[in-house]
Structure 1
Amino acid sequence: MFFQPKLLKTFAGYNQTLFIKDLLAGLTVGIVALPLAMAFAIASGLKPEAGIFTGIIAGGLISLLGGSRVQIGGPAGAFIVIVYGIVERYGVSNLLVATAMSGVFLILMGAFRLGTLVRFIPIAVIIGFTNGIAFLIGLSQIKDFFGLQIEKMPAHFFQAVQALYLAADTFNPTALAVACGSLSIIIFWRLFQKHLGFLHHIPGTVIAMIFATVFTSLLDLPIDTIGSRFGGIPSSLPSFEWIPVSWDTAQYMVTPALTLALLGAIESLLCARIADGLIHDRHDSNQELMAQGFANIVTPFFGGMPATGTIARTVTNVESGASTPIAGIVHALTLLAIVLFAAPLAKNIPLASLAAILMYVAWNMGEWKKFIDIKQFRLPYRITILSVFLLTVILDLTVAVQVGLLLAFITFIYRISSLSRCEIAEANIYPALNNLQGRIDAYRIYGAIFFGAVKLLEKIEENLPSQTLLLDLKNVIYVDSSGMDTISELAHLCKVRNIKLIICGLDHQPYEMAGRSGFLEKLPQDCLYPDLISGIKAATAS
C-alpha cells in the first residue's frame, strides 16, 4: 500500500498485556517529555507552551501515522539553532510558515520514496553538524545557566560570544547554584539509576526539574522562572488559528523550510534505525517521512514548532516496555493531561534548571569521541568533519551541509577514480600478441568509466596502434554518459585513422548504457566479443 501506518499492523495479536506495557511506557515518556519540550521551545526563542503543544499534536500524529512501532516525535534539540535563527530574522509568524512548508517537503520526500536517500549523507557530515548544533545549544544556555542579564541573545556565534562577555559581570550566583545543583542531580541519577528500584524508569532531568522547582518556590529564590519571564503556561487546549502569511517574506522561507525538512528527515530516520536495533524490527522510512510531514503541517496552526523523531524519548519508550505506537499516543495524551491539570505548577520552574537540562542534552547529543579519535581517519574525512562543524558554529547549518556534501562528493569522486585503472595486456600472458607490438594494442580496464576517470581512455588515444585496438571491459562495473561519450570519441578517432576497434567483455550495466546511447548500433558486428582471448583471435585472423 502507498500509505500504511505502522499502527495498522499492530492490532493483530494485540492484547491487554501489551496495552498495559504501552500505557506505562507512554506515561513515563510523557513525564520525560515535559521539561525537554519547554526547554527546547525557550531555547528556540519561543514560549514554553509551543514545545508542549508540539509534543501533544505532533507527537500524537507521528505515532498515529508513522512507519515505526516505537518512535516518539516532538520538538528536538537539533532544531534549536535553526528555529532561533528564523525567529530572530523573520519572526514567529514566518517560522510557522516555514514549518508548514517543511511538512509539505517531507510528504513529497516520502511520496516519491526518497526515504532511503537520506542514508547516503556521509557520516562525517552528520557528525560535523550534530556536534556543531550541540555546541551552539550549550552556548545558548550559558545566559540562563549563569543568570546573565541579556535582553536577547544574538543568533550568530561572534555576536553571541560578545554579548556573553559584556554581560559577564551580571551573573547571578543563585541561578548558577541552581543550575549546578540540577546538573549534579542529573549526572548522579544517571550513574546510579540502575540501583534506584522502581524509580529507575524516571530520568534525572525530571527529578532535577522537580527539586529545582520545589526549592525555588519554598525559598523564593531571586532567579528567573517560567512565570516571571513568560507568565506561566496556559491550562487549556491549544486553539486552531490560521497562520498569518506575508507573501513578501514567504518566498524567503523556502530555504529555511528545506533545511528544516532535511534535518527533520535525517533526525527521524536515524532515530527510527536506532529503534529498529532495540526492538529488532524494520521501520518504513517513506511512511515515517509522510507522518513527519503531516505533523509539521498541522502543528503550526496550533502555535507549535518543528517536530521530528527524538532519540532520547524513543529510547526511554523502548526501555519502558513499549512495543507499539499506542505508547506514543499515550505520551501525547499524558502531556495534554499535564497541561489541563498541572499547568499552574509550571510557573515556578527555574530557567537555570532548564538550562542545565539542555546542557546535559547537548553533551549527550554530540559525538565528541569522534573528535578525539580524528587522527585515526584520513585527511579528507578530517577536513570534512571539521569544516562542517566550524561552518555550523560560525555561519549556519545550510552552508555547512552544502560545503560538507561538496567535500564528501569530491573525496568520493577522487577515491573511485583512483580505483579505476588501465593495464596493457602482456604478451607473456597472451602469447598471440607476440611480434604484434605497434600493430595491435590490447588494454584491460578495471573499475568505472565515468566523468572522474575518463582520463584512462584519453591516455589510450595518445598512443594508438597502427592497425588494431582491443579494449577489454570485462572488469568495468559502471559506465556513465561521460564515459560513454569518451568511448564513442575513441571509436570515432579509430575510424578516422583506419584503426580497427575491438571491444571485449561488454556486459550488464556497461552493455545497457552502450545500447541506450546508440553506440552499439554504430559499432560493426565483428567488433564485439565476449572476452579478450576471442578478440585477440579475431584480430590476428583478420
Structure 2
Amino acid sequence: MLQQAKTSPRPSPKPSPSLRDLFTPKLVTVLREGYGLPQLRADALAGLTVAIVALPLSMAIAIACGVSPDKGLATAIIGGFLISAFGGSRFQIGGPAGAFIVLVAATIERHGYDGFLLATMIAGLVLVLIGFLRLGTYIKYIPHPVTVGFSAGIAVIILASQFKELLGLTLAGPEPAALLPKVEALWQVRETANGATIALAVASIGLIILVRRIDARLPAFLIVVLAATLASWAFGLPVETIGSRFGEVPRGLPAPSMPALSLDKVLTVLPDALALALLGGIESLLSAVVADGMTGRRHRSNCELVAQGLANIASPLFGGLTATGTIARTATNVRAGAIGPVSGMLHALFLLVFMLVAAPLAAYVPLAALGAVLAVVAWNMAERHAFASILTRSRGEAAVLLATFLLTVFRDLTEGIAVGVVLGSFLFMHRMGELVAVERHASLGMEDEADAPAGAREAYDSGRVADPDIVVYGIAGPLFFGAAGNVGAILERIGSRPKALVLDLSEVPFADSTAARALLSIAQETTRRGARLYIAGASSSVRRVLAHEGLKVPLVRYAASVAAARDAASRALATL
C-alpha cells in the first residue's frame, strides 16, 4: 500500500474582509480614529498648500486640452472633493492630470466637448463597476516598463503641445492633437513666433528651476505665474493671456447639466470612455501607491476606484474634465503634513474660494507662463533615469518599454498600454518558464547516452545507483503552460529501460491544466511501455489539478515522498 500524501498543518486563513471593510472611505476611518482641532489645523495648512500648487496647474492642463481654464478649476473642485471624501487613500489629491492631456484633446477633437463629457461620465461608471467587482487589485500588475514607457510618451506629447504657447505661434485653425500633424502644423507657422513670448517663457522656466533650488517647499508654479503676470502688465509685453484668448474666467461653478445622450452617441464614444477609465484607474492607483510609500499607510484600491468613478460622473455635470489622482499634488499633500482626506476636501474648497474671489485676475495671466509650467511638468513626468535604466538592464524589458513609448507617441495611448502589457506578460511567462528546473536525483536509471549529462553515466557505472530500473526526476518551480513544453521535452528523452518513473513534485507550488496535460502524455507513454509512473510529494492543490486532467490510479500512483515512491516501485517490480 502506498502512503497517502501528508499535508503539513497550516495556519488558519485570515477571514476575508467584508464589503463594508473594503469600501469604507478613508475619511470615515480617520474620523473614527479621533479627529480634533490639531488634526484640522494640519489638514487646513496642507490643503491650502496643495491648492496653491493646483491653481495654476489646473488652468494650464485645461488650456493644454484645448478648453478654457475654468474647466480645469471645476475638475479640481468637484472631482478633488469627491475623490478625497469617498476614496480609499488618506492622502490622495484628485483633479485634472497632465497624463490625460493627449487623450482628452483627441477625444474632444473626435467627438466635440459634449461628446467628451459623455465619454467621461461613461468612464466614471466603468470605474465604479471595476471597483465593485474588485478588479482594482489587478491594475497593479501592469509591468513597470509599461508605466515608464507611456509616461515618457505622454511627456513628449505634452511638451510638443506647449510649443505654441512657449513660442507664441499663431495657427489659422485648431491645433491637431496627434503629434506628427501637430509638429507639421506648428512648423508651417514658425515665422509667427513672438520674441517677447519666447523671452517670457524662458525666464519662467528658469525661475521655476531657481525657486525649487532655493527651497523645494515653495510654490514655484504660483510664484512664476504671478511674476510673469506682473512683468507682462508692468512692461506692457505683447503676449497672449488667458483673457485675450478665453475672456474673463467666470466666478463660481456653472449650474449642473447633462450632456446630450443617445444610444448612437454612447456607442460612438465608448472606446474613448474605456481608454479614459483605464488611464484613470492606472494613474489614480499609482498615485495612491506613491502616497503609501511616503507614509507607510495602505490604501483600499477598489474603494479608490469607486471614488474616482463618482468624481468622473459628477465632474462633467459641471463642465469639468476627467479627474484622477495626481501624483505630484498628492506628494505635496503628504510633505505638507496632511493627516487625512480632509486636506483634499479643503484643497477643493480653497480653490472654490479663489475662483469666487480672484477669477477676474486670471485673465491677465500670460499663456507663456502656463506653458512653462507644463513644460516643467512634462520634463519631470518623463522618468528619464528609469527609462535609461530599463534600456540598459534587460533586452526584453527594453522591448516592452520602447513598444509602449513609440506607440503612445505615434499611435495611441491605449494601443501603447495594451501592446506593452501583452509583451510584458509574454516576457514574464518566458522568465517563469525558465525558472522551472527538471533534475535527476542521485538514483538514476539508464538513459540514452547522447542525452546523459556529464557524470550521469559514470554514476551508474560506479555502482552508486541503487536500482537501474527506477528513474527519479525532480521538478522545481511553477508548473504552468509556459513551462509545459520544456518539462515535456526533457521527460520524453528518458530511455526505454526504466520500469518505473518517479516524479518528485514537492518543489512545485502550483500547476495548471496545460502542464497537467503534458504530464498526462508522459504517463500514457510510460504505461504503453509497460512501466509505472509515481508522483511524489505533490501538494493537495497540485494533485487536484492533475487528477482533473486524468492523472488518476492506475495510470499514475501518488506517494507522500520520493522514498515512499521508490519503496512502492521496488515492491511492485519484485512481483513481476
Aligned pairs for 1:484-495 (under 5 A) are 484-495=516-527
Do 1:59 and 1:332's aligned partners in 2 also have CA atoms closer than 8 Å?
A: yes
- CA gap of 1:375–1:121, structure 2 versus 1, over 3 A, is closer
Aligned pairs for 1:164-243 (under 5 A) are 164-193=186-215, 200=217, 202-243=218-259
1:273 corresponds in structure 2 to: 289
1:405 corresponds in structure 2 to: 421
2:154 corresponds in structure 1 to: 133
Structure 1: distance between partners of 2:555 and 2:388: 60
1:446 corresponds in structure 2 to: 476
The Cα offsets for residues 207-245 of structure 1, whole Å up to 9 and x where unpaired, read as 111111122233332221111111121113221111112
Which letter maps to 2:202? C
1:80 corresponds in structure 2 to: 101
- Percent of aligned positions with the same letter in both sequences? 42
Structure 2: distance between partners of 1:208 and 1:39: 13
Aligned to 2:184, which of 162, 169, 179?
162
SS in 2 for 1:502: strand
Aligned to 2:166, which of 125, 142, 145?
145
- CA gap of 1:389–1:236, structure 2 versus 1, over 3 A, is same
Do 2:149 and 2:387's aligned partners in 1 also have CA atoms closer than 8 Å?
A: no
Do 2:405 and 2:416's aligned partners in 1 also have CA atoms closer than 8 Å?
A: yes
Do 1:433 and 1:440's aligned partners in 2 also have CA atoms closer than 8 Å?
A: no
Aligned to 2:492, which of 455, 461, 473?
461
Do 1:432 and 1:537's aligned partners in 2 also have CA atoms closer than 8 Å?
A: no
- CA gap of 1:96–1:432, structure 2 versus 1, over 3 A, is farther
Aligned pairs for 1:202-351 (under 5 A) are 202-351=218-367
Normalised by the length of structure 2, the TM-score is 0.88
Structure 1: distance between partners of 2:285 and 2:38: 29
Structure 2: distance between partners of 1:512 and 1:31: 59
1:5 corresponds in structure 2 to: 25
SS in 1 for 2:307: helix
- CA gap of 1:374–1:448, structure 2 versus 1, over 3 A, is closer
Structure 2: distance between partners of 1:84 and 1:401: 18
- CA gap of 1:374–1:514, structure 2 versus 1, over 3 A, is closer
Which letter maps to 1:479? A
Structure 1: distance between partners of 2:443 and 2:542: 27
Which letter maps to 1:486? A
SS in 2 for 1:22: helix
SS in 1 for 2:508: strand
- Mean CA deviation greater in 344-353 or 448-457: 448-457
Do 2:23 and 2:88's aligned partners in 1 also have CA atoms closer than 8 Å?
A: no
Which letter maps to 1:37? S
Matched, 1:124 2:155: no
Aligned to 1:470, which of 470, 492, 502?
502
Do 2:437 and 2:477's aligned partners in 1 also have CA atoms closer than 8 Å?
A: yes
The Cα offsets for residues 307-338 of structure 1, whole Å up to 9 and x where unpaired, read as 11112211222222221211111111111111
- CA gap of 1:397–1:446, structure 2 versus 1, over 3 A, is same
SS in 2 for 1:417: helix
* Residue 441 of structure 1: how far off its partner (Å): 2.9
* Residue 265 of structure 1: how far off its partner (Å): 1.5
Structure 2: distance between partners of 1:39 and 1:441: 71
SS in 1 for 2:482: coil
1:534 corresponds in structure 2 to: 564
The Cα offsets for residues 86-119 of structure 1, whole Å up to 9 and x where unpaired, read as 1111211121111111111211221122222121
2:11 corresponds in structure 1 to: none
- CA gap of 1:502–1:280, structure 2 versus 1, over 3 A, is closer
1:48 corresponds in structure 2 to: 69
Normalised by the length of structure 1, the TM-score is 0.93
Structure 1: distance between partners of 2:419 and 2:556: 49
* Residue 246 of structure 1: how far off its partner (Å): 4.3
1:197 corresponds in structure 2 to: none
Which letter maps to 1:267? E
SS in 2 for 1:17: helix
The Cα offsets for residues 369-403 of structure 1, whole Å up to 9 and x where unpaired, read as 12333454011111111221111111111111111
SS in 2 for 1:186: helix
Structure 2: distance between partners of 1:128 and 1:212: 33
Do 2:392 and 2:398's aligned partners in 1 also have CA atoms closer than 8 Å?
A: no
2:405 corresponds in structure 1 to: 389
SS in 2 for 1:120: coil
- Mean CA deviation greater in 80-89 or 417-426: 417-426
Aligned to 1:63, which of 76, 80, 84?
84
* Residue 409 of structure 1: how far off its partner (Å): 1.2
Do 1:441 and 1:465's aligned partners in 2 also have CA atoms closer than 8 Å?
A: no
Do 1:433 and 1:536's aligned partners in 2 also have CA atoms closer than 8 Å?
A: no
Do 1:97 and 1:245's aligned partners in 2 also have CA atoms closer than 8 Å?
A: yes
List alignment gaps of at least 5 residues for structure 1.
195-199
- CA gap of 1:529–1:465, structure 2 versus 1, over 3 A, is farther
Aligned to 1:418, which of 434, 440, 454?
434
Structure 2: distance between partners of 1:525 and 1:378: 43
Do 1:145 and 1:176's aligned partners in 2 also have CA atoms closer than 8 Å?
A: yes
* Residue 518 of structure 1: how far off its partner (Å): 5.6
Structure 1: distance between partners of 2:252 and 2:220: 28
Structure 1: distance between partners of 2:359 and 2:509: 63
The Cα offsets for residues 55-86 of structure 1, whole Å up to 9 and x where unpaired, read as 11000101111111121100000111111111
Which letter maps to 1:426? A
Matched, 1:499 2:531: yes
| Aligned-pair Cα RMSD in Å | 2.1
List alignment gaps of at least 5 residues for structure 2.
1-19, 445-458
